[in-house]
Amino acid sequence: MLMPPPPNSSSSILRKSRFSPYLFTLVVFIFFISILRKDLACVFSLQLQLDLAPATEKKREKLAFETGKLEEGCDVFSGSWVRDEVTRPLYDESDCPYIPPQLTCQKHGRPDRSYQYWRWQPYGCNLSRFNASMMLETLRGKRMMFVGDSLNRGQYVSMVCLLHSLISDDAKSMETFGSLTVFTAKEYNMTIEFYWAPFLLESNSDNAVIHRISDRIVRRDSIKKHGRHWKESDIMIFNTYLWWITGSNMKIQQGSFEDEAHDMVELPTKDAYRMAMNSMLRWVRKNMDPKKTRVFFTSMSPSHGKSIDWGDEEGGNCYNQTTLIEDPNYWGSDSKKSIMEVIGEVFSKSKFPITFLNITQLSSYRRDAHTSIYKKQWSPVTPEQLANPVSYADCIHWCMPGVQDTWNELLFTKLFYPH
Ligand SMILES: *[C@@H]1O[C@H](CO)[C@@H](O)[C@H](O)[C@H]1NC(C)=O
Ligand SMILES: *[C@@H]1O[C@H](CO)[C@@H](O)[C@H](O)[C@H]1NC(C)=O
Ligand SMILES: *[C@@H]1O[C@H](CO)[C@@H](O)[C@H](O)[C@H]1NC(C)=O
Ligand SMILES: *[C@@H]1O[C@H](CO)[C@@H](O)[C@H](O)[C@H]1NC(C)=O
Ligand SMILES: *[C@@H]1O[C@H](CO)[C@@H](O)[C@H](O)[C@H]1NC(C)=O
């Protein structure tokens, strides 16, 4: 704190001064007062900041749709699968006409239904039961949008299956327009949509039907190309993972795909993935309002293509698996680990609150729940394949009803109880 001017020093100046001593005292006085005031203001504002800092930390802004708090220490993603033949499945395969033929396992001859009777039980608390009428009321007048690859499409279809039975037949529809699929519930003035963008960024695999390209190329800084279709969404659910896993590197195009001179670089997959995540976050910050909207990100969906991963003999996969992996520490192949690190790193720095659906570990126990050979095939099955079903089993996608309904129960829980 400034001391008032000592009388001696000021009087010594005064004596040398030609100005009237009275006027000079006044000038010096004003000078010191002005310094003093600045200083006071500074001290005061510091005090304010110190007082406010812990308060804002405690009184975190309530997120859109938030109605309460989870029990202290409840990590809904940490738990185990419990056999439940009473409340599962949440709907019947034949009661949901929106399941694409690539996911209708019963219709395509799967001999067992055991995969349908499992409920996810967190260790520290109970999941709130998926309440379809509450979800529909919440979505009234709103646009919910899933963006990503076929696994996110599965979660989208599961959400529609969980809700549609409460809507009369003439008041609902599902239509596809290129990359966009829209489920409309007229009486709720609501849509649930899926947008195909397996890398989120523009890529050479963006055609919603013809996208099985082995030499995959992603274009840097191109999220706007798809993002213009996502604006005015109230709830967004992103995912992206599987398409990045083509080797240790990913091809990144710097300019437009139409450019003659290809300005191409190869980045380690981890760095390319980080670039895409940062693009997504930038898009979200620019286009979403954290007070009115919510953004979710679903982590990597695990596949079960190699039985040695879970200690079985080599050569098998998810085909003919009817039991769960019991090792609670089972994780599977390693590419998931480095991608999970990138996700953790990017989200910990994010200023926009993203709700993370960490479904990787819980789904990794479910070697029994993939579509395997019980699905509509892209091309006719050859006699050689028929003789060796393991060779054409799909160990990536999930039968429906099944695991992806659990992802939506977690989404439901985190929508209303984000913390
Ligand atoms: C979870 O539900 C079970 C049975 O419904 C009940 O016994 C148990 O106390 C609940 N646990 C918690 C943490 O609420
Ligand atoms: C589901 O939510 C509605 C409100 O939207 C409520 O009236 C009903 O009791 C809830 N059902 C259950 C089983 O909690
Ligand atoms: C339907 O919802 C939109 C917002 O998505 C809103 O602008 C519009 O007014 C709503 N219409 C009716 C009839 O409620
Ligand atoms: C499926 O696995 C069981 C053992 O769990 C085995 O007995 C059976 O032969 C297998 N079936 C086929 C068709 O591979
Ligand atoms: C997701 O869960 C797994 C296993 O529970 C954990 O190892 C990982 O760190 C979690 N990821 C993030 C980003 O929180």
Q: Which residues of 349-369 are buried (b: 16+ CB within 10 A; e: fewer)?
A: ebeebbbbbbbbbbbbbbbbb
CA–centroid distance, 135 to ligand 2, in Å, is: 9
Ligand nearest to the CA of 293: 3
**Model confidence, pTM:** 0.86
272: CB partners within 8 A, 6+ apart: 218, 244, 249, 250, 252
Q: Where are the beta strands (DSSP E) in 178-271?
A: 180-185, 190-196, 217-219, 235-238, 249-253, 264-268
Q: Is 141 close to ligand 3, i.e. is its CB under 6 Å away?
A: yes
Q: How far apart are CA 349 and CA 344, in angstroms?
A: 9
Q: Is 6 close to ligand 3, i.e. is its CB under 6 Å away?
A: no
CB atoms near residue 5 (< 10 Å): 15
Least confident interval from 134-148, 196-210, 339-353: 196-210
Ligand nearest to the CA of 393: 4
Return the pLDDT at 277: 98
Q: How confident is the model at residue 29 (pLDDT cuts 50, 70, 90)?
A: low
Domain ranges in the chain are 79-416
Q: How far apart are CA 417 and CA 410, in angstroms?
A: 10
Q: Say whether pLDDT at 321 is over 80.
A: yes
| Residue 141 Cα: closest atom of ligand 3 | 2
Query: Which protein residue has the closest C-alpha to ligand 3 atom 7?
Result: 141
% of residues, the chain, pLDDT over 70: 85
Paired residues of 356 in beta bridges: 297
Give the alpha-carbon dihedral of 106, 109, 114, 120, to 10 degrees.
-50
Return the pLDDT at 214: 78
Query: Which protein residue has the closest C-alpha to ligand 3 atom 2?
Result: 141
User: In the CATH hierarchy, which fold is given to the domain comprising 79-416?
Assistant: Rossmann fold (3.40.50)
**Pocket of ligand 1 from Cβ distances under 6 Å:** 125-126
And the tokens for 392?
Answer: 């054409």
Q: Is 126 close to ligand 3, i.e. is its CB under 6 Å away?
A: no
Q: Say whether pLDDT at 69 is over 60.
A: yes
pLDDT tens, position by position, 107-160: 999 999 999 999 999 998 999 899 999 999 999 999 999 999 999 999 999 999
